[in-house]
Amino acid sequence: MMSLSAKWLLGTMSFLLSSLLILLFVTPPSWGQSSETISPKASDGTPFPWNKMRLPEHIIPGHYDLMIHANLTTLTFKGTTAIEITASQPTSAIILHSNQLQISKAILQKGAGKRPSEEPLRVLEYPPHEQIALLAPEPLVVGLPYTIVIEYAGNLSENFHGFYKSTYRTKEGEVRILASTQFEPVAARMAFPCFDEPAFKASFLIKIRREPRHLAISNMPLVKSVTVAEGLIEDHFDVTVKMSTYLVAFIISDFKSVSKMTKSGVKVSVYAVPDKINQANYALDAAVTLLEFYEDYFSIPYPLPKQDLAAIPDFQSGAMENWGLTTYRESFLLFDAEKSSASHKLGITLTVSHELAHQWFGNLVTMEWWNDLWLNEGFAKFMEFVSVSVTHPELKVEDYFFGKCFDAMEVDALNSSHPVSTPVENPAQIREMFDDVSYEKGACILNMLRDYLGAEAFKGGIVQYLQKFSYKNTKNEDLWNSMASICPTDGTERMDGFCSRGQHSSSSSHWRQEGLDVKTMMNTWTLQKGFPLITVTVRGRNVHMRQEHYLKGADTTETGYLWHVPLTFITSKSNSAHKFLLKTKTDVLILPEEVEWIKFNVGMNGYYIVHYEDDGWDSLTGLLQGTHTAISSNDRASLINNAFQLVSTGKLPIEKALDLTLYLKHETEIMPVFQGMNELVPMYKLMEKREMNEVETQFKAFLIRLLRDLIDKQTWTDEGSVSQRMLRSRLLLLACVRKYQPCVQRAEGYFRDWKEANGNLRLPSDVTLAVFAVGAQTPEGWDFLYKKYESSLSTTEKEQIEFALCTTQNEDKLQWLLDQSLKGDIIKTQEFPGILSAVGRNPVGYPMAWQFLRENWNKLVEKFDLGSPSIAYMVMGTTNQFSTKARLEEVKGFFSSLKENGSQLRCVQQTIETIEENIRWMDKNFDKIRLWLQNEKLELL
């Protein structure tokens, strides 16, 4: 699953427009806190024979025969599921999952062969756990083969999960209907009764009945099509490999496709609505290249004969890794050569690489339970970086990847964070696992481990892991055990389960000469929440290091957590990375000679932040202001990030952090500039919501003055590398939104020409966002943009217009946008979370966004589901820039009134902590910022 958590920077949204898109699932019941009831009652009032949320382990499914017949006119479907099972202990109750399905008949077939004996099964339903019990007349015999056959019916889901309805408009304006699936994490049970837990792997033989005008696709290739009645065709698909229920997929549509073969003979196809199939070629080429890369990297052939990629018009997450049939939001797969931006190309490539990585990590080897979701998602996120840096070096993914670690640290620094591997049981808790900690932190600690072990040793470990556990399920420790059995390729040898080095190796080129206990080390990163702050004090040649748990907040009592931290550092005397494994609370390393400065966490490869005591920060600020290119752009970005993190905990004065940013006047690289904006823009966003107009205006002017030279250098073209183009796009947007006149005037000219050409003039795609944002500030411009939105076939253009519409200062238009996108007619409901959050970042719109969330909470939970990342995104997007006690009380009051319909959500705890931190931060730093802005050195900018 691809969950791109959106950061709506610059007051509304981040440079990567595709990060508007967030992961969503849906399922209606509200989940109480306890998953076990003493004696549950079935829906007919009789006792239900099972009281746990998890299924019993003594019935094992081996194979499913599934027939689905969907009617796209009545929006209903019928199905028959035959499941081959065996029992490992005698039982007369077969417990499995079913949700919102009407079961008409259930029978038990005993034995194999042509004529098995049949007996009816009594069906009990227990909707609170989405379970059914099939009661046999007598206990099942251990080890004997049985088949349960269930006939049932259901309605196509109106949400984004299960077997659901999707629609699109043709160029001529006709609305067409299709049906598609989204089963992860707990929605296969909405399409067919099944053992819907990842460890119950089985093979699937799928048959789909459809009208002749439609096309059906599924995980496996089509074997044959049979006419079963006039106007009704049954498609038979090949039997799947052994896999989890959440990976089953089927689509009934009128999609068109384009195809290519990989070197090893895998047929790769991209499916899309007919009017957009001409936008499928970029993703098709990328998929072929990436699939070939993974087959080589993992040393395991892709096990299926085909890989389809389908662009679904209504899709709530970024994408989904169904085995052999990956599904995508249209904007994550379709590339319009005329209108798509550089960030869009990067987004599509990363998304395709993420889903194809899952074909091994997640599909071939699957976590045993959702507590270890990171084994799927952290790995797929990490493999985006590993694969794309090789297959598409021109995208320079390394310029973008490490910013993800800072995103993860934002939530991981809160007390409400959770360990990467954390216990979950009910569906709402499972959905909450699809967050920055599972994805981004998971990827960042894997990158740190690769840096620690060396790329080849790391690769050896994961290949061994995949080979050993193919078609099986794993826990956290299985990965570490595979890693621990591979030694780094630098003269180490195996001794007693550890990699050990000879005593001759020098500490400058190796980790400390002792055993590398990968499991113990990595458990400190996956089984406890948060990350360490390393405080460095230099005394002559001695470097004193101390680690502590970095936590924001007032009641940050010491947790006593310790990490095994693979430290790296460079100094003024040596620019090759030195290494040191810190396993204790404090330690000392001795340098060969005294140095002017020392910089830890080389290249941002480590998931920790660093505080330099005494004059350490002054030395580094001096270095940046003198010769900033002496350290890498990633190192510069991490200094900016760490400095402001330390302001939050009072370790560094705000003035020193702001002084450090002054060097940005001479910066040209994407990572440090973006990081500077990521730290400075939220400061004035807090002020906007406190009506601190004078200082807010001064601060905005300071930011533009700081970046003015770089803004003025930007050409209004699509020239340069992907990083240069993404930098241009975001800088010009910032300049225009901040009303920097040279930018506004240029954008107004472009918009005027575009409007006069009735939207048919080709704008440089990298500047379109800035042009539209300026154009949307007049009522006529806004109305024209909306008219173009209605008819556009380009997902990129639609997203850019959507963003621009949200920047208007007209309250009526903002209210109309909220109403329309929730309604879902012209603006699809999948866009609503992004629009709500954009309005929540708008200085005029934020009160109405917060009001809208409260008034429509029940509707939103019904549509987007309790615990889903989209609900979390909307909660944070409407509230986490508040910084007054009055707003804090409003937020607390509203969410506590929701009881089990939202008060316990992690995102609610996160936003409350964030608002409390904002209040403290503003109380402590606002006057200091006001005085700093009057400083004479700013006159030099």
Cα–Cα dist 30/900, whole Å:
7
Cα–Cα dist 233/230, whole Å:
8
More confident residue, 469 or 24: 469
2: confidence class by pLDDT, cuts 50, 70, 90? confident
Instruction: Give Cα 903 distance to the centre of its chain.
Output: 23
Q: Which tens digit of pLDDT belongs to each residue from 764-804? A: 999 999 999 999 999 999 999 999 999 999 999 999 999 99
Cα–Cα dist 657/660, whole Å:
5
Q: In the predicted model, is pLDDT for residue 842 greater than 90?
A: yes
Q: In the predicted model, is pLDDT for residue 504 greater than 60?
A: no
Distances (CA, A) of 270 to 217, 336, 337, 440: 12, 14, 16, 28
Q: Which pair of structure tokens corresponds to residue 849?
A: 């966004």
Q: For residue 708, what are the contacts with CB-CB under 8 A and spacing of at least 6?
A: 740, 941
Cα–Cα dist 73/252, whole Å:
12
Q: Average the pLDDT over 52-75 and give the result.
A: 97
Q: Which pair of structure tokens corresponds to residue 449?
A: 């481990």
Q: In the predicted model, is pLDDT for residue 830 greater than 80?
A: yes
Given this model, what pLDDT does residue 29 score?
36
Given this model, what pLDDT does residue 483 score?
86
Distances (CA, A) of 430 to 501, 562, 867, 906: 42, 27, 8, 12
Distances (CA, A) of 491 to 449, 527, 559: 18, 31, 38
Distances (CA, A) of 618 to 189, 540, 702: 59, 17, 22
User: Residues of the chain with pLDDT > 90: what percent?
Assistant: 85
Backbone dihedral angles phi then psi of residue 834, each to the nearest 5 degrees: -65, -40
User: Residues of the chain with pLDDT > 70: what percent?
Assistant: 92
Cα–Cα dist 276/335, whole Å:
9
Read off the pTM: 0.93
Q: Which tens digit of pLDDT belongs to each residue from 411-453? A: 999 999 999 999 999 999 999 999 888 999 999 999 999 999 9
Q: For residue 615, what are the contacts with CB-CB under 8 A and spacing of at least 6?
A: none
Q: Average the pLDDT over 840-857 and give the result.
A: 96
Question: Crossing angle of helices 741-756/722-737, nearest 10°?
Answer: 100
Q: Which tens digit of pLDDT belongs to each residue from 8-58? A: 233 333 334 333 333 323 233 334 334 455 789 999 999 999 999 999 999
The upper half-sphere exposure of residue 209, i.e. CA atoms within 13 Å in the direction of its Cβ, equals 17
Given this model, what pLDDT does residue 10 score?
30
Given this model, what pLDDT does residue 505 score?
35
Q: What burial class does residue 529 get, using C-beta atoms within 10 Å of its C-beta: 0-12 exposed, 13-18 middle, 19+ buried?
A: buried
Q: Are 941 and 665 in contact (CB under 8 A)?
A: yes
Cα–Cα dist 313/802, whole Å:
16
112: confidence class by pLDDT, cuts 50, 70, 90? low
Cα–Cα dist 226/21, whole Å:
39
Q: Average the pLDDT over 393-414 and give the result.
A: 91
Given this model, what pLDDT does residue 487 score?
58
Q: Is 831 a catalytic residue?
A: no
Given this model, what pLDDT does residue 308 score?
98
Q: Which pair of structure tokens corresponds to residue 186?
A: 């707990």
Q: Average the pLDDT over 109-117 and give the result.
A: 78
Q: In the predicted model, is pLDDT for residue 940 greater than 90?
A: no
Q: In the predicted model, is pLDDT for residue 636 greater than 70?
A: yes
Pick the catalytic residue: 130, 197, 355, 913?
355
Q: In the predicted model, is pLDDT for residue 495 greater than 80?
A: no
Cα–Cα dist 271/282, whole Å:
13
Helix, strand or coil, per DSSP, at residue 617: helix
Q: Which tens digit of pLDDT belongs to each residue from 679-690? A: 999 999 999 988
Given this model, what pLDDT does residue 689 score?
87
Closest by CA to 705, choosing from 929, 475, 546, 938, is: 938
Given this model, what pLDDT does residue 716 score?
96
The upper half-sphere exposure of residue 623, i.e. CA atoms within 13 Å in the direction of its Cβ, equals 20
Given this model, what pLDDT does residue 494 score?
41
Query: How many residues can be counted in the chain?
Result: 941
Average pLDDT of every residue of the chain:
91
Q: Which pair of structure tokens corresponds to residue 900?
A: 């089990």
Given this model, what pLDDT does residue 502 score?
37
Helix, strand or coil, per DSSP, at residue 190: helix
Sequence letter at residue 659:
D
213: confidence class by pLDDT, cuts 50, 70, 90? very high
Q: In the predicted model, is pLDDT for residue 882 greater than 80?
A: yes
Q: Average the pLDDT over 649-662 and give the result.
A: 96
Ramachandran quadrant class, 26 (left: phi over 0; alpha: psi -120 to 50; beta: rest): beta
Q: Which tens digit of pLDDT belongs to each residue from 307-345? A: 999 999 999 999 999 999 999 999 999 999 988 888 999
553: confidence class by pLDDT, cuts 50, 70, 90? confident
DSSP 212-241: TT-EEEESS-EEEEEEEETTEEEEEEPPP-
Helix, strand or coil, per DSSP, at residue 609: strand
Q: Average the pLDDT over 207-223 and give the result.
A: 97
Closest by CA to 99, choosing from 872, 867, 905, 865, is: 865
Q: Average the pLDDT over 457-483 and give the result.
A: 94
Q: Average the pLDDT over 858-885 and give the result.
A: 93
Q: Are 284 and 267 in contact (CB under 8 A)?
A: no
